[in-house]
Copies of this chain bind each other. A is one copy, B any other.
Amino acid sequence: MKIDEEDESTVIRRATEYKPGRSWSRLLVGRPLSTADAPHQTIGKVLGLAVFSSDAMSSVAYAPQEILIILAAAGMSAFHLSVPIALGICALLAVLIFSYEQTIHAYPNGGGSFIVARDNIGAVPAQIAAAALLTDYILTVSVSISSGVAQLISAFPALEFLKVPIAIFFVLLIMVVNLRGVKESGITFAIPTYFFLVMMYINIIIGFVRMLAGTLGMVEAPPMDVILAETTLQPITLFLILKAFASGTTAVTGVEAISDGITAFKEPRSKNAGTTLIIMALILGSMMLSITFLGNHVGVMPSEEETLISQLARTVLGGRGLLYLGTITATTIILVMAANTAFADFPRLSAIAAADGYLPRQLTYRGSRLVYSRGIVALAGMAILLIIVFNASVTRLIPLYAVGVFLSFTISQSGMARRWWKSGKLEAGEEIVEKGSVLKYDPHWLHKMIINGFGAFVTFIVMIIFAITKFIDGAWIVVILIPGLVFVFSAIHKHYSNLAKDLSLDEYQPMARIAHQRVLLLVSSVHKGTLNALRYAKTQSSDITAVHVSIDPVETQKLRDKWEMWGEGYRLVVIESPYRLFIEPLLEYIEEIDRNRKANEIISIVVPQFIPRQAITNALHAQTAETLRKVLLSRNGIVILEVPYQVD
C-alpha cells in the first residue's frame, strides 16, 4: 500500500496493484479492471448496433412464424393475412422510433422507462415500468435462446432430445461473455450480427429475384404438425387477427434497448445512439416485411418441428446446401446472442433501481470487470428456470412476453409527453433542474408532445390487445407478476428508508460512556485455547465469570479441577443441563444477567474458538459457538468476542 495523503486525523491509502490469481473464475472472466478504466469502455455505432440491436433484429426469426401459428387455427387460407399484419407491425415500429428518438436526445445519460417515469410522472409508475422491463428482459433471454435452439434443431432434428440442455448451455455462455464486460461483448457479437444480416439479405434478394423470374416454387415436404393437429377450423374473427397481430408485436420488443443503454455509446452519445436506432428500425422493418411476404409466397407451414426460416431458406436456396447451413447458423447465433441485449440492460436497470432503494443494494456493486455481476448471474438463473419450465418452447413462452414491454413503452411515452408539456410552460431560454435532469424550454414542445403522446396511446392499445388475446395462454402470469413485483419493490424501499431513519444521526444524543463491563467466558473444557481466551478477557474487565454447561458430570468434575489449577481464581458457574441441551440453559443464564444490567453496563461474551489446520476437520467439532453467535447477535448490550486459537 502506498500512503497518498496524511493529516493529523485522516490517512488515505491506496490498495496495491492487483496480483492476478489463477482461479477458474479469473480464467473465465479475465483480469480485474480498475474503476478508473470505466470511461474507456464505450462503443461506437458499428459495435452499438451489434450489442443493442441483436434482440430486435433477431425477432424476425420467430415473429412471422408466431403470426402464422395463430392464424393456423382458421386454416391455411388465413395465412395471407400475415402480410397486412406485418405491415401493421411496421407502422407500430415507426411510431416507436419517432418516440424513442426524442427520448434519446432528451436523456443523454440513459432514458430507460424507469428513469423517464421517475423524473416525469412519479415513483409508482417508475416501479411499474421497472417491474415490467425486468420481467421482459428475462423473457427475452428465454425466448431468444429457445428460438435459436429451434433453428438448430430444424437443421439437425436428431438433437431434439437435447433441446433444454443446449438452451441452458447457451444462457451460461452469454452469461460468461457478459461477465467479461461490455467492450468485449461488442467485439464478440459484431461479426455474427453482421453475418446474420448478410445471410438474411442474400435469402431475401435471391427470393425476390427468383419470384420475379418465376422460378420460386413451393416448400417441399413442409412439416405438418401444427395444421394437422387442428380438426375443427375456427372462423377468421377480429379476435383471431388481433391475437396474431399481438404475437407479431414481439418483433418490436427490442427497440427500447438503445435508449436504456445510451451511456455505453461514444460521444456524442445521443447522436450516435439516435442514428443507430434509425438504422436498426430500417433493417428490422425491411426484414420483417420481406420474410413474411416471401414465406407466404412459398407456402411455409408454422411448426414446432421446423422453423419458418429453415423452410424459407431451403426453398429459396434450392435445398439444404452450404448457403442454407450458413443461414441457419447465422440465425441460431444471432438468436443466442439476442439474449445479450437483455444481459446488457437487465443489470444496468437493476443497478439503477437498487441505487434508488427498490432492489437489494448489492445489485449496484460492480464486479472485477466493471459490470454488474450479480445482476448478470441473477438474469441467467431466472432465464434458465423459465426455459426448464416451458421446455424451451417459443410458442409457449410468447404469451408471457410482450405485455411488460408495451406497458413500459406506454409509461415511458406518457412520461415524455408530460415532460414536453412542462417544457412548454417555461419561458424561452429558461432552464430548470428537476430530479437531476435538466429541463429547458423547447420551441417544438407541442409537436414533440403530440409524437410521444401518440406513441403512448398506440402502445397502450397494443398492450390491452396483447393482454386480452393472450390472457388464458399465459399473459395472466405477467398480469399478476408485475403488481407483485411492484409490491416487493415498495417493501424493499420502505425497509431501506426506515433503516436510514433509525440509523440517522440527525437527532442523536450521544450515549454515556460504558461504566462497567461484565465478561462471560464460555468454557467447554480447559485447554490452551481456553487460557488464550482468558488472557484476552483480562484486557476487557476484571469482572470475569467462566460459564460451563454441564451435560456429563464426570467431564464437569474434571473441568472444575482444571479450572481450580488454571482459572486464576476467577469464578466458575456450572449450569447443569438435565435435558442435555446447551444453548437454551446458557441463554436463560445470560438473559438473567441481562435483566439486571444497568444502562451503562455491557456484557461481553468471550467465545474461545480453536481453529484446526484443515477446514475439513471442522465437521468433527460441534459448531455450538456458531449457533450461539447467531442467537445472541440479535440482542443489544451484548457483545460477542471470538478469540481464535490456531492449532499448529
Q: Interface residues, chain A, CB within 8 Å of chain B?
A: 1, 4, 9-16, 18, 32-36, 360-362, 365-368, 492, 495-496, 498-499, 502-505, 508, 510-511, 513-514, 517, 526-529, 531-532, 535-536, 538-541, 551, 560, 562-564, 566-567, 569-581, 584-585, 588-589, 592, 602, 609-612, 617, 619-622, 629, 633-636, 638-648
User: With A and B bound together, what is the CA distance between A498 and B35 in angstroms?
Assistant: 48
Known contacts: A505-B528, A539-B514, A641-B640. The answer to whether A1 contacts B646 by CB under 8 A is no
CB pair A639 B644 closer than 8 Å: yes
Q: Is the CB of A15 within 8 A of B639?
A: no
Q: List 30 A-B contacts (CB under 8 A).
A: A1-B585, A9-B569, A10-B571, A11-B572, A12-B574, A14-B576, A15-B581, A18-B579, A33-B579, A35-B580, A360-B620, A361-B620, A361-B622, A362-B622, A367-B580, A495-B617, A499-B612, A503-B529, A503-B610, A505-B531, A513-B535, A514-B538, A514-B539, A517-B539, A536-B639, A629-B642, A633-B644, A636-B646, A639-B642, A640-B642
A365 touches B644 (CB 8 A): no
Interfacial chain B residues near A16, Cβ < 8 Å:
588
Which residue of B has the minimal Cβ distance to A19? B584
How close is A325's CB to chain B, nearest CB, in angstroms? 44
Q: How far is the CA of A599 from the CA of B491 in the complex (A)?
A: 51
Copies of this chain present in the complex amount to 2
* Smallest Cβ-Cβ distance to A360: which chain B residue: B620
- Chain B contacts for A539, CB-based, 8 A: 514, 517, 540-541, 602
A579 contacts B35, C-beta separation under 8 Å = yes
Judged by DSSP, the binding face of A is mixed
Among A498, A635, A641, A645, the most chain B Cβ lie within 10 Å of the Cβ of: A641
A9 touches B572 (CB 8 A): yes
Nearest opposing residue in chain B for A639, CB measure: B643
User: Chain B residues with Cβ under 8 A from A578's Cβ?
Assistant: 14-15, 34-36
* Contact status of A639 and B641, CB under 8 A, knowing A531-B510, A540-B540: yes
The answer to whether A571 touches B9 (Cβ under 8 A) is yes
**Would you call B592 and A1 a contact (CB within 8 A)?**
yes
Asked if B639 and A633 sit within 8 Å, CB to CB, the answer is no
- Contact between A579 and B644 (Cβ–Cβ < 8 Å)? no
- In the assembled complex, which residues on chain B have CB atoms less than 8 Å from the CB atom of A633? 609, 611, 642, 644
A310 to B264, CA, bound (A): 76
